[in-house]
Every structure is written in structure tokens, then in C-alpha cells.
Amino acid sequence: MLTNEMRKELIQTAVEAWRKAYAPYSEYAVGAALRTDSGTIYKGVNVENAVYPLTICAERVAVFKAVSEGEMTFSAIAVVTKNGGTPCGACRQVLAEFGLETVVLIANLGGELVLETTVGDLLPHAFGDADLEAGRG
């Protein structure tokens, strides 16, 4: 269960991460803070590149950091932008890989919660391992 204290901590951690984003081209910085079921929080920032397709989003950085440390069950992720933007489709799909029930907190740079939802609500009819199994044969 995600308490109000946990929500505040996650959003504040994402705000702190936002300050380290590398977004010289779009100037659209994103900070993320991913809470695993063990209680560990992993930060992520978007990292842009002059070759635009090589850019990576903050949400995926946080997920990949967690997975690289052996954590694969997540309870919540906070995503912070100046205007409270939601994760892109690629990030939604990566998050879906690890659980449609993960809580997604969308906040603005002031730390105000703009939207609380789940990965499943952000990505209805997500493609997953069951789809791969059904297509084999």
C-alpha cells in the first residue's frame, strides 16, 4: 500500500532527479523515481543525444537501474516535468513488462500531484508475454 508519506517522498525524489536531466535539445527535462516492492527507490532522468533516436527517457532509466540491481517488482513510479506530462508509449510498454498494477504518480516541478493512475490505465490492452505465447505454435 502506498501511503501519503511514500507519495510525497517519491515525488520529491523525482523533483531532485529532474535537476540532473540532460535535455539540451528539447529542453524538456524529466525526472523519475521508481519504488520497488523492497522499498528501494531508483532515480532516472532523460538523457538526450544529438542523434535523437539514441535519447532515453527518465522512466526507462529508473527501470533499467532497478532491474540491473536485481529488482523486478515495482509498487510505484513518480514522473516529474514542468507541466506534469505523462510517460511516452515506449515507457508505458517497458513499465507494463513489470506489472500493470504499478501506481503512476504524475507531478509538476512544484511537487504537486497532477494525476494518480496505474500502468494498466495508461496502457490499456498492453502487449505482454501472454500475447507471445498465444502467437506461438
- Annotated active-site positions, please? 59
C-alpha span between 14 and 112 (Å, rounded):
12
Spell out the alpha helix ranges (H) of 50-98: 58-68, 89-97
- In this structure, what C-alpha cell is assigned to residue 120? 494498466
Asked if 79 and 72 touch (Cβ cutoff 8 Å), the reply is no
- Non-local CB neighbours of 22 within 8 Å, separated by 6+ positions: 45, 46, 47, 48
17 φ/ψ angles, rounded to the nearest 5 degrees: -65, -40
C-alpha span between 33 and 41 (Å, rounded):
6
